[in-house]
Structure 1
Amino acid sequence: MNPTDVIVVGAGPTGLMLACELAQAGVRCRLLERRAEQPNITRAFAVHARTLELLDARGLADDLMPHGVPIRGLQPVPGATLDLRKLETRYPMLLIVPQSGTERVLEARAHELGVEIVRGAEVTGLRQDARGVVVELADGRTETAEYVVGCDGAHSKIRELAGIDFAGKQYETHILLADVRLTEPPGDTLFAATGPEGVVLMIPFGDGWFRAIAWDRLREQVPLEVPLPMAEMRDAFRRIAGTDFGMLEQRWSSRFLSERRQARRYRAGRLFLAGDAAHVHSPLGGQGMNTGIQDAMNLGWKLAAAVRGQAPAGLLDSYESERHRVGAQVLALTDAFNRLVLGRSAIRRAVRGVTIRLLLRFGPSRRLLAGRLTGLGIHYPATSRHAHPWTGRRMPDLACEGGRVYELLRDGRHLLVDTTGAAGRSVGNAVKAVRYTGPAVPGLPGAILVRPDGYVAWAGAAARDLPAHHEQALTRAER
């Protein structure tokens, strides 16, 4: 018998989120991290509305909010604004928070749940068979488990050992990153400027430090290993934005090569990929960390069911079928943003800008773009053509007996919401049955079975219509 059920490789936001999901479900999990110490860098800084909803579903959003700066509107191109306050969510915003802040919140929860985080554990080999997986480490030790998940970033060793192709391309223009202090901060909370020589962004962390980002065409061929002095970042901002905002101090800087790649597969037998190990893309749009955390939420409850011997046929395969499709959509979105602001042709950039402004003028296209950008529009295809239209959709945060939907999901179980006013139906301990207590909503199904990751597993006219295969799978979870 393996002493560990699941080995998670990589202690970034994706790996930490997945470890928390598994531990909460009672799965024995070990988190292996190659870095001996946490580095003082943070590349990701945007937490979108859907990710905040999912963190709320585990009681973590309120812990994260004080560490961030909320942004209520975005301007994809000059003259076009996306008003996030109109989003139908508890979190109508983009939360600007350093990745390190998100990791601290997730790591604190992992420790509460008893997750063992092993730092300085570099994976060098991997083999698997029908019984489990053996992970070999650089110090000669081995770790065994039923499953392994690679959350170890764009240069994933797990992906390499599995022989999974990482298809895509590199972008030409390097990204310049620096954390700086300013004597003349911009008036806009999120500042952006474009010009013939590139793009610059200035993003507040809320503690006096700002993240300066530049795509500088004049410096795109400088090797990545060359140090980035503050004078170079100042020069980029002065040329592109007309000001450097009085950059006074720099605590960290780096050159970063942006890529557009996706793993051909997210699963190879007992091995899975999530986060940057599965997909990397342009940072424009702030999608990377959000997509990884959502990968973890999708995979966590499914792996837990498999470890307990309760997963129905095809459940583990559904991780790849659902999340690979989402990953491809995110790559398409961020690639479009990249071409919009960094395209070589001024005429094409202008045409794309006009197109974006037109799209944001009309309700349906504006809602579609907002849904794609914030993650609120993500949905999974139904496996049956007879399924209710709500199946696979994001579950709204309805008011129910005992609390909101996302409060009621915090124990990681399925949730059966009865909106007909009938007494809550029990389907064993693996699912919580509650009554809807909010106002009448046109088109609201009579009963909705919500997955632990906040998506609709089934919907119908009444709770008594819950199909046998759903009820059997949920009931098995008690054993």
Structure 2
Amino acid sequence: MTGTTDIAAAPLTPARVVVVGSGPTGLLLAGDLATAGIPVTVLEKRPRKLSNLSRAFVLHARTLEQLDARGLADELEAAGRALDRLRLFGRLAIDLTDLPSRFNHLLVLPQYEVEKALARRAVEAGAEFRYDTEMTGLVQDTDGVTVETRGPDGRTRTLRAAYLVGADGMRSAVRDAVGLPFPGKSAIRSVVLADVRLAEQPEGLLTVDAVGDAFAFLAPFGDGYHRVIGWHRGRDVPDTEPLDLAEIKEITRRALGRDYGMHDARWMSRFHSDERQAPAYRAGRVFLAGDAAHVHTPAGGQGMNTGLQDAANLGWKLASVLAGHADADLLDTYQAERHPVGRSVLRSSGGIVRLATVRHPWSRAARAALTGLLNTLGPARRKVTAQITGIGYRYPAPRGAHPLTGTRVPDVRLAGGTRLHEALREGRFVLITPDHEPPPAPARPDRLTTAHWASPRRTTLLVRPDGYAAWASDAIPAPGALRSVLTTYLGPAPARRLG
């Protein structure tokens, strides 16, 4: 540790959460915590500016639903371009219009546009940002976490918080500080990236294909430039190897048949794509989210989406515990719910890459047979689509629970002309009751929104702040039983603060 320690410059705040990293995952989490009234400080070692060097370009249906529940989806939809059909491997056609979601499409939108909206929300909610500030160490105890930082002036300062979340990417300093391993391997080496202008416009919004040893992907920025991602199996060189436009054009021609007249590259780089996952997303009072917890190939565009959904899962739980509405045991469910999803994403994205890069004629024949089968088997194709878009995941439920428990709740219409996602925007639980039964007066109006179904249904449903079903019943629960359920999930009043 170097520099001068200045403890007085950062007062100890037992109920504070420190988030390390201001990418999409950290920004959504900070916004959720600040909206819930939890003091949150975001540490970011980069200067305060938005970068256009991001690799993520796609928002999937489930992520758009989460953003809609935060009032952000409509503006992002207006800034991006919707894509309702995909074609992979030349034969596999994926029609997203069949998705049971308001967002039955992909949204092609650069990551920096998502970050811009999330950062504005977090700032407006009161989150504190410290840019040019690096976390250099942390120490945990039974009451909290002491975080050491180094700011732009080179001085070392400390922060005290109840919990810390590492959303600081694949090379996470937080993960290293708590000693969590990151097992896995490099799945693809020497991937090339560039932002280029095109003399010829591609036929589709996204252009992707793999031929022989070459793979290429094209997506528009919306400012006249396109991002190209390419890979050639025979060109396995270190990330530091010089890169020029001629190499990028050659890979693109091999994979897509032409290079679309690429010119005027404003940025070029190499990287390698890993498949890794931390065995635990929690170490005491420290959590991992996004790329700090799991990384995988870009195939399927699931990276940023999975991280945003990690944040949506963790944020309301931290807020509930710190406000005294729930016991700290609730935080254990973050690992139980999100780690299996991360593992599944590793498998699906890796599977797409392996299918795209098969070499031998018999392997290509097998791929053709598999994609042909998926085209003809609707249920199998819908299952694959639901997994990639995120709407097909469900969380574990207790034995004997209602079948809806743990499932994603669609953006259902509610009486009075509102939607579920609109009702979720305050960060509360939502209790939906049959329209012939008056909803109970909320015992915890700060924690619960009540509503009726817009159409006749018999189910009483309690929806978590992240849009998943917490509890349901097809029988009309007695008032006492319902109060007991609400106390279980909302906590007793008055609230007790937990550090």
| Shorter-chain TM-score tier | over 0.9
**Amino acid aligned to 2:366:** V
> What's the CA shift for 1:129?
0.3
Q: Compute the displacement of 1:248 (Å).
A: 2.0
Q: Distance in 2 between matches of 1:134 and 1:337?
A: 42
Distance 1:239 1:80 in 2: 20
CA deviations on 1:185-221 (whole Å, 9 max, x unpaired) are: 11111112221121111112233211111111232x2
Structure 2 SS opposite 1:358:
helix
1:380 & 1:240 partners in 2: Cα distance?
Answer: 39
Q: Structure 1 counterpart of 2:405, which letter?
A: T
Amino acid at match of 2:347: A
Which of the residues 62, 83, 86 maps onto 1:71? 83
With over 3 angstroms needed to count, the CA separation of the structure-2 counterparts of 1:404 and 1:355, relative to structure 1, is same
Look up the SS of the partner of 1:63 in the other structure. Answer: helix
After superposing the two structures, state which structure 1 stretch, 468-477 or 183-192, moved more: 468-477
Counterpart for residue 3 of structure 2 = none
Per the alignment, in what secondary structure is the counterpart of residue 410 of structure 1? helix
Relative distance call for 1:349 and 1:163 in structure 2 (3 A) is: farther
Q: Does the CA-based 8 Å contact 2:212-2:358 persist in structure 1?
A: no
The question of 1:117 aligning with 2:129 is answered yes
Q: Are positions 1:168 and 2:184 aligned together?
A: yes
1:453 aligns with 2:466: yes
Asked if 1:146 is matched to 2:162, the reply is: yes
What are the superposed Cα offsets for residues 238-264 of structure 1, whole Å, 9 maximum, x if unpaired? 233221101121111211110000001
Q: Distance in 1 between matches of 2:148 and 2:277?
A: 25
Unaligned stretches of 5+ in structure 2? 1-11
| Structure 1 Cα separation of the partners of residues 459 and 435 of structure 2 | 5
- CA shift, 1:363, in A, is 2.3
**Structure 2 residue 256 is matched with structure 1 residue 241:** yes
Deviations 1:114-147 (A, max 9, x none): 1111111111111100111011123311111000
AA partner of residue 452 (structure 2): R
Amino acid at match of 2:37: G
**Other-structure match for 2:237:** 222
Aligned to 2:194: 178
Calculate percent identity across the aligned residue pairs.
45
C-alpha displacement of 1:469: 4.8
Please tell me whether the aligned partners of residues 420 and 447 of structure 1 are also in contact (alpha carbons under 8 angstroms). no
Deviation at 1:378, TM superposition (A): 1.0
Contact 2:25 2:310 in 1 (8 A): yes
C-alpha spacing 1:240/1:477, structure 2 compared with 1 (3 Å): farther
Q: Secondary structure at the match of 1:390?
A: coil
1:401 aligns with 2:412: no
Deviations 1:71-113 (A, max 9, x none): 1111132222110011111111100110111100101111111
The letter for the 2-side match of 1:272 is F
**TM-score when normalising by structure 2:** 0.91
Q: Does residue 421 of structure 1 match 2:433? A: no
Residues 404-452 of structure 1: per-residue CA shift (max 9 Å, x gap): 00111000000001135211222321111110113x4xxx651000000
Q: Determine the C-alpha separation between the residues in 2 that align with 1:468 and 1:353.
A: 55
C-alpha separation in 1, matches of 2:364 and 2:314: 38
> SS of 2:189's equivalent?
coil
How many residues are treated as equivalent by the alignment?
473
Aligned to 1:314, the other structure's residue is in SS state helix
In structure 1, what is the Cα distance between the partners aligned to 2:458 and 2:32? Answer: 28
Residue in structure 2 matching 1:49, options 61, 64, 67: 61
AA matched with 2:372: R
C-alpha contact 1:445 1:459 (8 A) present in aligned 2: no
Aligned to 1:100: 112
Distance, in Å, in 2 between the alignment partners of 1:230 and 1:419 is 62
C-alpha distance in 2 between matches for 1:360 and 1:420:
41
The answer as to 2:452 corresponding to 1:435 is yes
1:111/1:346 Cα in 2 relative to 1: closer, same or farther (>3 Å)?
A: farther
* Residue identity matched to 2:451: V
Q: 1:425 to 1:360 in 2, by over 3 A?
A: farther
TM-score normalised by L of structure 1: 0.95
Q: How far apart are the structure 1 equivalents of 2:195 and 2:477? A: 53
1:10 aligns with 2:9: no
8 Å CA contact retained: 2:439, 2:451? yes
For 1:427 and 1:79, how far apart are their aligned partners in 2?
53
Task: For 2:411, give the aligned amino acid.
Answer: D
CA, structure 1 residues 467+278, in 2 after alignment: closer, same or farther (shift >3 Å)?
Answer: farther
Contact 2:214 2:254 in 1 (8 A): no
Structure 1 residue 475, shift from structure 2 partner: 4.7
Query: Which ranges of structure 1 fall in alignment gaps of 5 or more residues?
Result: none
Separation (CA, whole Å) in 2 of partners of 1:436 and 1:80: 38
Q: Residues of 2 paired with 1:187 and 1:469: CA distance?
A: 54
Q: CA separation in 2, counterparts of 1:346 and 1:433?
A: 59
Whether the aligned pair in 2 keeps the contact of 1:427 and 1:471 (CA below 8 Å) is no
The answer to whether the aligner puts 1:80 opposite 2:92 as a matched pair is: yes
Partner SS for 1:8: strand
Q: Which residue of 2 aligns with 1:331?
A: 346
Q: Matched residue of 1:30: which SS?
A: strand
Does residue 310 of structure 2 align to residue 295 of structure 1? Answer: yes
Q: Over aligned residues, Cα RMSD in angstroms?
A: 1.6
- Bigger shift: 166-175 or 292-301? 166-175
Match in the other structure for 1:21: 32
Letter in 2 for 1:22: L
Q: Which residue of 2 aligns with 1:385?
A: 399
Q: Structure 1 residues 350 and 215, CA, compared in 2 at 3 Å: closer, same or farther?
A: farther
Work out whether 1:320 is the aligned partner of 2:331.
Answer: no
